[in-house]
Amino acid sequence: MADASFDVVVIGGGHQGLIAANYMAKNGYTVGLFEQRRELGGGACTEPRPASGFRGNPCAHVAGFFASPVNQDFKLHEKGLNYIFPPVHSSMVFPDGRCIVSYRSIVWDKETGMIAPQQDIVEKNVKEVERISKRDAEVLAKFASGKVWEWGFAAMQVLWNPPPLPGEIDPIEALLNDPNSGLERRHQFMTATEYVSDFFESSELRAHSLRMIGSAGIYPDDVAPLPVMMFNVPMQVLGFGGGVYEGGTHNLTHALQRALSEQGGKFFVGADVDEILVKNGRACGIKLADGTEIEAKKMVITSIVVTQTLARHLRNVDLGSQGAEWRRKIAKLRVDRGEIFWGHIAFHELPKYKAEAWNPDCGQARWIFMGDADIEYMDREYRFRNQHIRPGQWPERLYLWEGTDTKWDPSYGPPGKHVALLEEMAFPASWRTEKEWMQIKKEAPDHFLKEWQKYAPNMTWDNVIAANIDTPWDIMHRSDNFVEGNWGLISGTPSQFGANRPIPEFAQYQIPGIEDFWMASGSCHYSLGLTGWAGYNCYKRIAQKLNLWKPWEGRLY
């Protein structure tokens, strides 16, 4: 006899699991959510760092969740989730003192979720690019006149919907079949460098685009999924993007948890799920590591990385004649993209960028990218040199981005003091020993500051209060979900995207042969950061199968 019973059992208390749990509770099911760690949130966490009195987000950071339908479906703005949108969206500062500045060009209505462009700001961003390259400004102006909306709509349709079933429209395929879309079939096979070079002429705009795409786990010489490239270029340059979670990303967790509790859902922390119970081909519950058994009357939903799902939670389940092959494929999934150095530096005085002489607003950007415009280096050497970092062996140049949230939300630090998050691309945790990672972690602040001083000379150790740069080793040990320190759980390569993610047989969030078992993991739908795509799209398929509430009907997604 089970120790407890729910209609729906959800494994994992990150934002994907919380989203799936909320939708099931909305339909009147009793829901029990079980989280291994001592608090909910997964990557949506905020902690004191890098020193007491400061606040930082050690995992997901950029506020992209504002575009999620979940905001409106559960009125998260009424449950403490607020966003701050700095007027300067991003900037790329170059060593010669020039820069490219993009101003936020969309407005968002928190009550309705509607997003509308500000045409005057779009034109302002085009003018900024014109200072660097007249030809590239003309390309952006052409995008802004229509194509960017088609591209953005198609990319959002892909990201906010499950992979198409036979007979359903593929938005990207529709664009590729349109001779006036500006996309060509060859674009889906290009590396990031080829892609941006096909549209932009100047090395500066190419470099800016490549570094922005890097935050999606894509090196310049990688071939990336076309929707991800479209989502970033040219939309980000034109000023479309996220902001800041007021008070920290953990407030997203709080809001989702409040919504779940208000609907009668229950959650349990420190509850390590050891096994998914399957009887007569149906998922009927879970067993915790301490032996506790929980009954699932209707279904089990997991938000845990698919590699752990098969290797641990379903280890005793016979998956039929294809089971051995499926296990082999899952065990061989790529996880070598999506690792980063990700840490915080607290300081007294805000950075004073040399590029402020070119545009005084560059230092006020939400994202400030730093780097040269050496496309040859970025394409041929950047990944190689970053992936060969060892103790005492660092590249002479890095391509950092920083975001100093205390400029907009003073709660991130003591009065008059500041804290910035810094990111640089990295490689899987297993590529170095623990001892090597400890030394790399110790060396990282010196190298980050050395690079930062090229662009903001006042960022010296005299200005620093404390520093803590997490490595992929640190990230891997935060959660079993972050395999190899990978923020996307598995790599977002074309072979692991859309109808191929994680493998074609599991692409509709189920494992053939196991009834009433669903996978809402970021490893089952492209997910980098706090997007909620996996949890939302998994629920879509559940709702379609069981004829549940379909909030997306009558809206874009």
Q: What is the mean pLDDT of residues 289-309?
A: 97
Please report, for the chain, the start and end positions of each structural domain, with discontinuous segments joined by +: 4-45+248-333+490-546
Nearest CA to 534 out of 154, 10, 36, 8 is that of: 10
How far, in whole angstroms, is CA 171 from its chain's centroid?
22
Is the separation of the CB atoms in 285 and 300 below 8 Å?
Answer: yes
Checking if the pLDDT of 354 tops 70, the result is yes
287, β-bridge pairs: 275, 293
pLDDT tens string 451-481 = 999 999 999 999 999 999 999 999 999 888 8
pLDDT at 145: 85
pLDDT tens string 129-155 = 999 999 999 999 988 887 778 888 898
Checking if the pLDDT of 379 tops 80, the result is yes
Checking if the pLDDT of 404 tops 90, the result is yes
Checking if the pLDDT of 1 tops 70, the result is no
Checking if the pLDDT of 356 tops 70, the result is yes
Question: What's the whole-number average pLDDT of the chain?
Answer: 94
CA distances from 58 to 39, 42, 248, 398 (A): 15, 11, 10, 21
Model confidence band, residue 83 (pLDDT cutoffs 50, 70, 90): very high
Alpha helices in 378-460 (DSSP H): 383-386, 434-452
Q: What is the mean pLDDT of residues 505-524?
A: 97
pLDDT tens string 26-41 = 999 999 999 999 999 9
CA distances from 323 to 284, 310, 424, 436, 517 (A): 20, 10, 38, 38, 16
Model confidence band, residue 4 (pLDDT cutoffs 50, 70, 90): very high
pLDDT at 366: 93
Q: What is the percent of the chain with per-residue pLDDT over 90, rounded to a whole number?
A: 84
92, β-bridge pairs: 100, 369
pLDDT tens string 418-459 = 999 999 999 999 999 999 999 999 999 999 999 999 999 999
For the four alpha carbons of 225, 153, 179 and 133, in that order, the dihedral sign comes to: negative
Checking if the pLDDT of 398 tops 90, the result is yes
Tokens for 124, please give them: 């302002």
Q: What is the percent of the chain with per-residue pLDDT over 70, rounded to a whole number?
A: 100
Was domain 4-45+248-333+490-546 assigned CATH 3.50.50.60? yes
Checking if the pLDDT of 394 tops 80, the result is yes
pLDDT tens string 264-290 = 999 999 999 999 999 999 999 999 999
pLDDT at 289: 97
